[in-house]
Structure formats: C-alpha cells, structure tokens
Structure 1
Amino acid sequence: MQVFRSKNAGACYGVQRALDLALKASEGDGSAFTLGPLIHNPQVVAELDARGVRAVERPDEATHGAIIIRSHGVTPAVRRSCEAQGLPVIDATCPHVSRAQKAAAKLAGECGFVVVVGEAGHPEVEGLVAYAQEAGGSVCVAECGADLPNDLPEHVGVVVQTTQTRDALEDVLAGLKERGVEAEVKDTVCTATRQRQQAAAKLAGEVDAIVVIGGRNSANTTHLAEICAAECPRTHHVESAAELDPAWFADCETVGVTAGASTPDNQIDSVVRALEAM
C-alpha cells in the first residue's frame, strides 16, 4: 500500500505562531493560562498543560503568570477583562482572524447589518459577531443560504469565518441574491485553509482511501473531512495514529493523508509511519 501525503497539510502560520508564543511563555519558571484551548487539538492542549500552560474558561481564573489570547481570538469585552486582571497579556490571535475582526467592525459601520458566514457558537465566530455589534451593527450567522433570516435589509456586509469553505460562502451569497439583497463581501477565508482544501480534494480523488488528521473539535479539520468524503467514500477522520484500523484499508493500493491547520507535523508523521507499517 502506497501512502501519499497531501501537498498542503498541517499546522498553518497562525497556529505555529500561537504555539511558539505559548511555549516561550512556559520557559523557565514561567506559567501561563489560555482562554479556552489555544488551538483545537486535544493532544497539543494536553502537552501544553504538562508544560504549565493551562486552559481556563474565564480571565479571572488566571491568577499568576500571563494570559494568552488563543488563536481563534476573543470578543472585545473578554479582551478588556484580560487586561483588567493586571497580568501580562500575550495576543496569539491568528493574524487572519484579526483581519476578519477588523473587517466585521468596518462592515458594521458601513452597512449597518453584517452576515457572518460560519459555524454558530464557534469561538472565532462569536468574536466576529461581537466586533460587528460593538461597532453598532446588527448581525446574523449563516453556515449556508438556508440559515439566512427573511427580514434582511436591502444592503448587508458579509464576512467569513477564516476556516470556512468556498462553497459555504457561495451558498450564502446565492441565498442573498435570491432575496434581492445587495452584499458587500470581505472574503476573509484564510489562504492556508483554501490551499489545504484544494489539495485535499485533489488527493482524495486519486487514492483508494484517505485519512484526515486533526481534532474533532476543529472546524477546519471537519471541513477537510467533508471535502474528502465527497471525493472518496473511504475517508477516515482521526486524532492520532492509535485510532487507525487496518480493516479500513483492506484491498487498498493507495491511501492519502491530509491534516487540518491545527495539526503539527509530528502527529502527521506518526500516522504516515503507522500506515506504512501496515
């Protein structure tokens, strides 16, 4: 069985930057707290915890050391709460997410109503909504055109969760067009996300089976698995090599491997080695 690794896979710049900042904060006698998991990868979060970088839910749970704002970003109110703790604040927000936050606020000021294309309840989306609202805008969240409310104004702004698919954005824009709504679009889908999705779709169409590596709580990894499944029915989403089942690859001559933007190289290498050993 031949194993092929996707051309674009694994930790993106924003995730690697967040990891580097967290690891630096843990050096020596340092300790730090992240608001929620730094990235959506349970294995990495556990490794950070072992180094003294603990995930907490509220700023007031950080009693010493530094507070790290995770890669998904936080709402303006949470950021102010962090600063009010009087501890050093390390901003590990992905630069692409920061750009989307600024776009949401700008569209709110220009259009008055903002459609956030993304997964309701996701921390990045909650931040985008809050930035638009703080700028005085009304907001709705839509993952597809069917999610759009009926009572939309004639002109809206559109901003996108950085890990969303191109298809999701196009579906929402088609829904707006059907309602006769004019949209001013800020395409904030991350380039790294787009590259991973395109490479994964291509690879999935060329192999007998494909393995997608990453946290099950990771939106971009989940989207990768969906994209691969559309091209290759034998798509398997795992968090680690320990989950691989040899029965999945019975009669397979080729298997592909891809990974979400929150998956470091060592986790990909581990899965590749396990597949090659089969």
Structure 2
Amino acid sequence: MKIEVAEFAGFCFGVKRAMDMAWKELENAKENIYSLGQLIHNTQAVGKYKEKGLKVIDAVEGKISGSIIIRSHGVSLDVYNALKEQNVSIVDATCPFVKKIQDIVYKSFSEGKAIVIVGNPKHPEVIGINGWCKNSAKIVKTIDDIESYSWDDSEYSVVAQTTMNIDQYEHIKKKLTATVDHIEFHNTICLATKERQDASKILSKKAQAMIVIGGYHSSNTQKLTEICSQNCPTFHVETKEELDMSLISSYSHLGITAGASTPDWIITEVVEYIQENSK
C-alpha cells in the first residue's frame, strides 16, 4: 500500500504558538494555570497538558487565583474586561490571524458599520469575534442564512471565520453582494486553512481513499473531511485506535491529511499503524 501524506497537514502556526505558550507556562508554573475552554480541539493533545497541571474551565466564575490562558480561538472583549477586573494574569494565546479579525470588527463597529461574520455561530472563534461588536453581528453559515435576515441601508463590514471553506465563502460573498447595497469584504480565511484545503483536494483526487485525522469538534478538520469526501471514500478518525483496517486494506493508494489542531505525533502513529497492519 502506498501511503501519501498531504503537503500541508497538522498544526498550523496559530495552534503551535498557543500550545508552545501554554507548555512554557506549565513548565515554569508557580501557581495554578487555567485555560478558558479547551486549548485546541484535540482531546489527546489537551490531555497531555492536563497531565502537566493545566486546569480547563468553561467560564470565569468567582475569584481565580493564578494565570489564565486565552486559547487560540480568542474571546470577547467582555471576557478580557472581566479578567482585568480580577487582576488575574492573562496569557493571551489568541491566534494573530483571529486577533486581526477582532480588530477589524471592533474598528468597523466603532465607525458605525454593521458586522457580518461568515462562519459557524456555535464555534468559539465566531462567538469571540461577535463579542467585539457587542454581539450584534449577523452570522451567516450558509446562503440560506442570508434570506433569514432583513437588510437595511447600513454599511456592512464582512469578515470570515479563519477556517471557513473557501468555496462556500465565495458562494456566500456572491449572494451577499447581490443582496446588500453597501458592503465591504475582508477575506480573513487563514492561509494555513487554504493550504490544507487545497492540498487535501489535490491528494484526494489522486488517492483511492483518504484518512482525515483530527478532533470531531474541530471545524477545520470537518471541512477537510467534506472536501475529501467529494473526490473519494473518506474516513475521519481522531487516533489510530479508530482505524478499521477491514475498510481500508483493499486500497493500494491511501492519502492522509490532518486538521490544524492535530499534532505530528498522532499523524505519525496513524501512518505507522497502517504500515504495520497492511502487510
């Protein structure tokens, strides 16, 4: 069996930066270290950090003693203000590309423009971004969502979730342009997202089947699965333990890609497991 890993797969810059910052804090910890939500959408990777002493909390409730890490997805302005009021030490691991979106939204909203976020309304990145315009944004995940809103003569400023499917974004952009009179677009889809999506698309057209490795709650991993599924049989797994060799052993050319929250060691484990069990 030929096993081919996509040119771009696994940790992106923002995730690696957040994980490195968190690990450094844990290595030098003299007090409690918290993360506000899961550091990344990868249970196995976060598990190693919990073993090191990281405490994951879902919200800031009561007095916190120690340092708190803002994960790569970022948080709302209100959360920052709440933490500052507590005088808690903040380790801001927000992805710089997400921070750029927050700045665009805050500036545009301050100028009186209405905000549109193209993305998943339930994703923590989108929830955080919306918090920089007082949660007033129109959030568009699909073209159908555009029809559900009423649009006035306001000036609209549009940003996109960093992990948005590029083709889907272009369809939404075209529809918004035809629907709204005064609108400006900020294409904030991360280059790493585009690289992974493009590489996965190319490989899935060559391979007989694809394995996508990443957390089931990872937005960018789900999108890689969607892209690959359009071209060949695709199997989404988090770890090597979930591989069903009876389903993939008949393929002579297997492609592998991984979401931006998937560490290299998990990719290596999957490749080695397939190699060992396909002989």
Shorter-normalised TM range: over 0.9
Q: Does 1:100 align with 2:101?
A: yes
Taking the TM superposition and a 5 Å limit, the aligned residue runs for 1:71-150 are 71-110=72-111, 112-133=113-134, 138-148=136-146, 149-150=148-149
Q: Deviations over 1:74-102 (max 9, x none)?
A: 00111111222222110000000000111
Q: In terms of mean alpha carbon deviation, does 52-61 or 112-121 score higher?
A: 52-61
Equivalent-residue separation in structure 1 for 2:109 and 2:247 (angstroms): 48
Equivalent-residue separation in structure 2 for 1:269 and 1:111 (angstroms): 49
Q: 1:212 to 1:145 in 2, by over 3 A?
A: same
Q: 1:23 to 1:143 in 2, by over 3 A?
A: same
Instruction: Note if contact 2:151-2:180 (Cα within 8 Å) is conserved in structure 1.
Output: no
Sequence identity of aligned pairs in percent? 36
Instruction: Note if contact 1:112-1:156 (Cα within 8 Å) is conserved in structure 2.
Output: yes
Q: 1:230 to 1:182 in 2, by over 3 A?
A: farther
Q: Which amino acid aligns with 2:137?
A: V
Instruction: Note if contact 2:117-2:139 (Cα within 8 Å) is conserved in structure 1.
Output: yes
Q: Does 1:237 align with 2:236?
A: yes
Instruction: Note if contact 2:37-2:57 (Cα within 8 Å) is conserved in structure 1.
Output: yes
Instruction: Note if contact 1:72-1:123 (Cα within 8 Å) is conserved in structure 2.
Output: yes
Q: What is the deviation of 1:106?
A: 2.4
Q: Does 1:12 align with 2:12?
A: yes
**Secondary structure of 2:91's aligned partner:** strand
Equivalent-residue separation in structure 1 for 2:112 and 2:272 (angstroms): 51
Which residue pairs with 1:263 in the alignment? Answer: 262
Instruction: Note if contact 1:212-1:238 (Cα within 8 Å) is conserved in structure 2.
Output: yes
Give the TM-score taking structure 1 as reference length: 0.94
**Secondary structure of 2:206's aligned partner:** coil
Equivalent-residue separation in structure 1 for 2:221 and 2:8 (angstroms): 13
Q: In terms of mean alpha carbon deviation, does 104-113 or 182-191 score higher?
A: 104-113
Instruction: Note if contact 1:41-1:214 (Cα within 8 Å) is conserved in structure 2.
Output: yes
Give the TM-score taking structure 2 as reference length: 0.93
Instruction: Note if contact 1:213-1:258 (Cα within 8 Å) is conserved in structure 2.
Output: yes
Which residue pairs with 1:247 in the alignment? Answer: 246
Taking the TM superposition and a 5 Å limit, the aligned residue runs for 1:51-62 are 51-60=52-61
Equivalent-residue separation in structure 2 for 1:61 and 1:270 (angstroms): 41
Q: Which amino acid aligns with 2:143?
A: G
Which residue pairs with 1:273 in the alignment? Answer: 272
Instruction: Note if contact 1:37-1:45 (Cα within 8 Å) is conserved in structure 2.
Output: yes
Q: What is the deviation of 1:46?
A: 1.2
Q: What is the deviation of 1:32?
A: 0.6
Q: Which amino acid aligns with 1:183?
A: I
Q: In terms of mean alpha carbon deviation, does 248-257 or 237-246 score higher?
A: 248-257
Q: Deviations over 1:100-149 (max 9, x none)?
A: 11111223234621110000121110111111237xxx421001221113
Which residue pairs with 1:216 in the alignment? Answer: 216
Q: What is the deviation of 1:167?
A: 1.6
**Secondary structure of 2:184's aligned partner:** strand
Equivalent-residue separation in structure 2 for 1:250 and 1:20 (angstroms): 36
Q: What is the deviation of 1:168?
A: 2.2
Which residue pairs with 2:228 in the alignment? Answer: 228
Q: Which amino acid aligns with 1:248?
A: L
Query: How many pairs are equivalent?
Result: 274
Q: Which runs of 5+ in 1 are unaligned?
A: none
Instruction: Note if contact 1:117-1:168 (Cα within 8 Å) is conserved in structure 2.
Output: no
Q: What is the deviation of 1:58?
A: 1.8
Equivalent-residue separation in structure 2 for 1:26 and 1:81 (angstroms): 23
Equivalent-residue separation in structure 2 for 1:119 and 1:271 (angstroms): 29
Equivalent-residue separation in structure 2 for 1:273 and 1:150 (angstroms): 49
Equivalent-residue separation in structure 1 for 2:179 and 2:168 (angstroms): 17
Equivalent-residue separation in structure 1 for 2:180 and 2:90 (angstroms): 45
Q: In terms of mean alpha carbon deviation, does 259-268 or 24-33 score higher?
A: 24-33
Equivalent-residue separation in structure 2 for 1:86 and 1:180 (angstroms): 43
Equivalent-residue separation in structure 2 for 1:13 and 1:62 (angstroms): 32
Equivalent-residue separation in structure 2 for 1:62 and 1:53 (angstroms): 17
Instruction: Note if contact 1:163-1:220 (Cα within 8 Å) is conserved in structure 2.
Output: yes
Which runs of structure 1 show a deviation greater than 4 angstroms over 4 or more consecutive aligned residues? none
Q: Which amino acid aligns with 2:270?
A: V
